[in-house]
Amino acid sequence: MQNGYKISDLPFETKKFMPTLLSIDDISRETGLEESLLRFYESEYPDDLPEKILRGDTLVFDSSAVEAFKHIHDGHGGGHSGDERISKGLRFARVIAVTSGKGGVGKTNISLNLAIELQRLGRMCVVLDADMGLANVHLLAGINPRLDIMNVISENRNISEIITAGPEGIGIIPGGAGMLALADSSSRDRKKIVKSLKRVEEAADIIIVDTGAGMGPSVRDFLSCADELLFVLTSDITSLADAYALLKVIPRNGDLGVRPVYSVVNMVGTLKQASDVSVRFSSCARQFLGREIQHLGYILRDSTVGAATAQRTPYTVFNPQAKVSINTRNIAAALLKKEMPEIRLSSSFNRYMNMIQEGEG
C-alpha cells in the first residue's frame, strides 16, 4: 500500500502500466541462482539493487532486479557456491539471540556460560550484552569494562577498543547506554553502531546476543535479524506464556526464510519436568503458529550458580564439573551439531542495517 491505496483499489488502466513485482523465488527462477545466494547478495550489496516495494505485508522487487542480481553475480559472485565461499573464509559469524519473554529465568547466565563452553570447543565466541534495562554480563563475568558500545558514537571509538576480554578468552561487548542509543537515536548513530557490530561479525565464529526480557522494540529487532533464536524457559507457567507471546510477534519469514528456533529449559528439578516444559512449548508453537522448536537440552537447578554469582565468576569456570556446567556443555555441543553453512553466507547486522533504512522510507 502506498499513499493509503492498495494495488487492488487502482483502476485496470492504471494497474496494467505498473511494473511486474517479483519475489525472491521468482527472481531465483528468472536468474537460475539459488535463493541462498540471492539472499547473500541482497544482504551484501543493497545499494546495487532497486528499492523494495511493499505488496500487502511482503517486500518485493520490480523486474529490474533480475538484471541487477545478474550484474552482482557476474561482478562479485565469481560463480562460487555457498560451500566454496565458506571454504575460502568468506563467511560471517553465527548470530544467536538468546531470549526469554520474561526476566528471572537465567538468560544472561546461560548466554555467558554457553559462550565459554563454545569457546572451549574451539569457536571464537563473543557475547553482546543487548539488555537495555539490566546490562550485567560484565558483572557475572567478573570484569570492569571502561567503555561500552555508546563510546562508538560519543567518542568515535573503534569496536576493537570496546570488546573486553572475558573468561576463557571470550569477547564481551558491554551494551550499556549504547543499547538505548540503538533503539532511540538518529538513524545515523544507529547505523554507526550496527556497522561496528558487523566488523565483529566478520571476525568471530559465534556471537551470542543476550537480549533484554520482554517484547520491547530493541528485543524484537535483534530477534528479527539474528540467524538463530534460543528461548530460555522455566517450569513457571508465566515463563511459557511470555515466551509463546514473544514467539508470536517474531516474523516467521525473514531474509533467511524459516530460521532455527531452539529451546532450553532452565532451573528444573527433574528430567521429566524439563521434558514436560519443552513438549508444551513446542506443541503450542507447532499447533497454533506452525513453528517448529528444536529442544537443545535442560539445566538442572544447582546451588553452584548462586555461589559462582556471589564470586562474580561464571559457573562453568567456578566449578567445571558441577551438574549445571555439564548441562551447559551438552547444550553447547548440541548447538555445534546444528551448524548450517548457508547461514554464515549472510550478515545479520546487514539485515539490521536494511531494517533501519527501510524504516527511513
Residues 166-208 have pLDDT tens digits of 999 999 999 865 566 566 556 677 788 888 898 899 889 999 9
Could you count the other beta carbons within 10 Å of the beta carbon of residue 335? Answer: 26
State the Cα–Cα distance between residues 192 and 245, nearest whole angstrom: 31
* CB contact at 8 A, 37 and 77: yes
So what's the pLDDT on residue 202? 87
Counting Cα atoms < 13 Å in the Cβ hemisphere of 291 gives 27
So what's the pLDDT on residue 118? 96
Low-confidence ranges of the chain (pLDDT < 70): 1-19, 34-36, 39-40, 43-44, 54-58, 76-90, 132-134, 176-187, 214, 217-218, 252-258, 359-361
pLDDT in tens, 210-250: 987 767 766 878 888 899 999 999 999 999 999 999 999 88
Q: Give the pTM.
A: 0.75
So what's the pLDDT on residue 139? 93
State the Cα–Cα distance between residues 44 and 41, nearest whole angstrom: 5
State the Cα–Cα distance between residues 302 and 325, nearest whole angstrom: 9
- SS3 assignment, position 251: coil
CA geometry: angle 20, 24, 27, nearest 5 deg: 60
Kindly list the structural domains of the chain, giving each domain's residue range(s) and its CATH number in brackets, ordered by start.
7-79 (1.10.1660.10), 94-349 (3.40.50.300)
* CB contact at 8 A, 209 and 95: yes
State the Cα–Cα distance between residues 165 and 116, nearest whole angstrom: 12
* CB contact at 8 A, 114 and 208: yes
249 closest CA partner among 96, 130, 42, 99: 99
